Amino acid sequence: MIELKTKQFTNGYVSVIQLEDKKLIETTSTCLPIQTEIRITGKKDNKIDANDFSVQNWAEKWTVGISTQSGCPIMCKFCAVNRLTDKQGWRNLTTEEMVGQVKYAVAEAQKINGGLDPNNSEIFRVLFTRMGEPSLNTTNVIAAVRQIKLMYPKARIQISTIGIKKSVGLVASLFELEDEFGYDWLELQFSIHSTNDTFRKWLQNETVMSNKEIGGLAASWYNAAPNRPWKATLNFALSKDTPFVIEDLKTQFDPKTVFVKISPINENPVSDENSLKTLFAYENSI
Footprint of ligand SF4 (CB under 6 A): 72, 74-76, 79, 81, 131-133, 162
Whose Cβ is closer to ligand SF4: residue 37's or residue 133's?
133
CB 270 within 8 A of CB 75: no
Whole-number CA gyration radius for the chain: 18
Q: How many CB atoms lie within 10 A of CB 217?
A: 21
Whose Cβ is closer to ligand SF4: residue 29's or residue 137's?
137
Q: Which residues are within 8 A (CB) of 76 and not within 5 positions of it... i.e. 6 or more apart?
A: 82, 162, 203, 204, 205
Whose Cβ is closer to ligand SF4: residue 73's or residue 243's?
73
Whose Cβ is closer to ligand SF4: residue 121's or residue 135's?
135
As measured in angstroms, the least distance from the Cβ of 193 to ligand SF4 is 9
As measured in angstroms, the least distance from the Cβ of 50 to ligand SF4 is 22
User: What are the φ and ψ backbone dihedral angles of 35, each rounded to 5 degrees?
Assistant: -65, -15
Whose Cβ is closer to ligand SF4: residue 61's or residue 200's?
200
Helix, strand or coil for residue 85?
A: helix
As measured in angstroms, the least distance from the Cβ of 256 to ligand SF4 is 27
Distances (CA, A) of 98 to 25, 93, 132, 191, 262: 10, 7, 12, 21, 27
As measured in angstroms, the least distance from the Cβ of 110 to ligand SF4 is 27
User: What are the φ and ψ backbone dihedral angles of 241, each rounded to 5 degrees?
Assistant: -105, 15
As measured in angstroms, the least distance from the Cβ of 133 to ligand SF4 is 4
